[in-house]
């Protein structure tokens, strides 16, 4: 149980200015810390590369990677691969998200079914889903299908579990109101319960996106004929560091960037509801 006056929010109400200022300095300190860590990491890498502790075949110095990155994007030869990978990531994300929310909402009412599936949900992320990739290639051929399927399989359960979690927290009064307004199950879900769960659905989106990325790029990397993951593997086998490192950087930037955007949105949503 939370006691009034112990949360930062309550303090802000009591003494808005000092608390806000304190929080502002803290946020600055955190940002500064993060920038320092990243800069320190890059500088250490740069020094290690330039002094030859890390040899050129292993890794070019960071400034070289940035130059190659700009060159690679400017040359335009990677854009079709990037587009292809991103289209598959997007497809896997949308499928996992829609399926997950649909299944989660449908499942919420059925206690026994949920209890039965509970061990599956609890064990699911221990299962190496990538181990199914060879099987899917044999079943569906070496195309986009298996890659998207891996992305969907990785993401869908996280979305289901998060949706169920959110629906569990819907206050009974909202369901009663919906019943009084004579809304059907679908209307109740679309107009009352799911909007209430918006913060949870955003968390689910974040997870689904991360898993779609991991699934698609990972599958391309293991075995494929196109896509960014495939190009990284190809560059690796050809000792083509001028292509490999910029592509790795691009994937890191894309996944961290998208994740960051959703996190920011999540924070705004939570703040608006006074949950954080």
Partner 1 sequence: MSAAARPREADSAARKAPVPAADRWGERRAPVRNAIVLVASLFALWQIAYWIVGDVALRSPWQTLRYTALTLTHTHLFWIHLANTLEAFALALLIAVVVGLLIGFALGLHRLSGEAMEPMLVALYSIPKITLYPILLLAFGLGMSAKVAFGAIHGIIPVALFTLNALRGIKPILLKTGRVLKLDSTMMIRSILFPAAVPEIFTGLRVGFSLTLIGTVLGEMFAAQHGLGYLLMNAIGLYNIDVIMSVTFLLVVFAAVVNAVLLGIDRRLHFRG
When the beta carbons of 2 and 182 are compared against partner 1, the nearer one is: 2
265 binds partner 1 (CB under 8 A): no
In angstroms, the CA 265 to CA 202 distance is: 8
Which two three-digit tokens encode residue 124?
């699911």
43 binds partner 1 (CB under 8 A): no
244 binds partner 1 (CB under 8 A): yes
128 binds partner 1 (CB under 8 A): yes
Tokens 């919906």 identify what position?
A: 178
29 binds partner 1 (CB under 8 A): yes
Q: Pick the piece of the chain touching partner 1 (CB under 8 A) from 92-100, 165-173, 179-187, 243-251.
A: 243-251
- Contacts with 23 (C-beta within 8 Å, 6 or more apart), sequence order: 8, 12
When the beta carbons of 102 and 218 are compared against partner 1, the nearer one is: 218
| Least spacing, CB of residue 115 vs partner 1, in Å | 6
SS3 content of the chain, % helix, strand, coil (to 5): 80, 0, 20
| Least spacing, CB of residue 29 vs partner 1, in Å | 6
In angstroms, the CA 137 to CA 67 distance is: 37
> By rule CB under 8 A, what count of residues binds partner 1?
55
Instruction: Using CB under 8 A, pick the residue from 52, 76, 119, 184 that binds partner 1.
Output: 119
Site string for partner 1, 186-225 (x = CB under 8 A): --------------------x---x--xx--xx--xxx--
In angstroms, the CA 153 to CA 146 distance is: 10
How many CB atoms are closer than 10 A to CB 204?
25
53 binds partner 1 (CB under 8 A): no
Which two three-digit tokens encode residue 1?
């149980």
What 8-state DSSP symbol labels residue 21? H
Nearest to 205 by CA among 101, 121, 70: 101
132 binds partner 1 (CB under 8 A): yes
What is the secondary structure of 112-131 as a DSSP string? HHHHHHHHHHHHHTTS-GGG
In angstroms, the CA 159 to CA 249 distance is: 28
> What residues line the site for partner 1 (CB under 8 A)?
26, 29-30, 33-34, 37, 54, 57-59, 115-120, 122-123, 125-128, 130-135, 137-139, 206, 210, 213-214, 217-218, 221-223, 229, 232-233, 235-236, 244, 247-248, 251-252, 255-256, 259-260, 263
């Amino acid at each position: 149980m939370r006691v009034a006056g112990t949360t930062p929010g309550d303090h802000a109400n009591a003494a808005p200015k000092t608390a806000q200022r304190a929080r502002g300095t803290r946020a600055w300190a955190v940002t500064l810390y993060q920038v320092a860590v990243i800069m320190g990491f890059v500088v250490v890498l740069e020094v290690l590369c330039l002094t030859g502790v890390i040899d050129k075949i292993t890794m070019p110095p960071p400034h070289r990677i940035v130059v190659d990155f700009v060159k690679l994007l400017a040359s335009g030869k990677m854009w079709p691969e990037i587009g292809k990978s991103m289209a598959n990531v997007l497809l896997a994300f949308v499928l996992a998200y829609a399926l997950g929310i649909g299944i989660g909402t449908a499942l919420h009412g059925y206690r026994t079914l949920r209890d039965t599936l509970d061990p599956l949900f609890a064990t699911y992320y221990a299962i190496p889903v990538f181990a199914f990739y060879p099987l899917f290639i044999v079943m569906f051929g070496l195309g986009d299908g298996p890659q998207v399927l891996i992305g969907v399989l990785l993401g869908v359960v996280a979305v289901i579990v998060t949706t169920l979690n959110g629906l569990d927290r819907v206050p009974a009064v909202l369901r009663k109101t919906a019943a009084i307004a004579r809304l059907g199950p679908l209307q109740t879900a679309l107009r009352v319960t799911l909007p209430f769960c918006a913060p949870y659905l955003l968390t689910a989106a974040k997870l689904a996106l991360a898993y779609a990325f991991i699934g698609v790029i990972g599958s391309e990397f293991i075995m494929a004929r196109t896509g960014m993951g495939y190009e990284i593997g190809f560059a690796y086998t050809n000792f083509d560091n001028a292509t490999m490192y910029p592509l790795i950087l691009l994937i890191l930037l894309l996944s961290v960037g998208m994740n960051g955007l959703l996190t920011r949105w999540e924070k705004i949503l939570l703040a608006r509801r006074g949950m954080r």
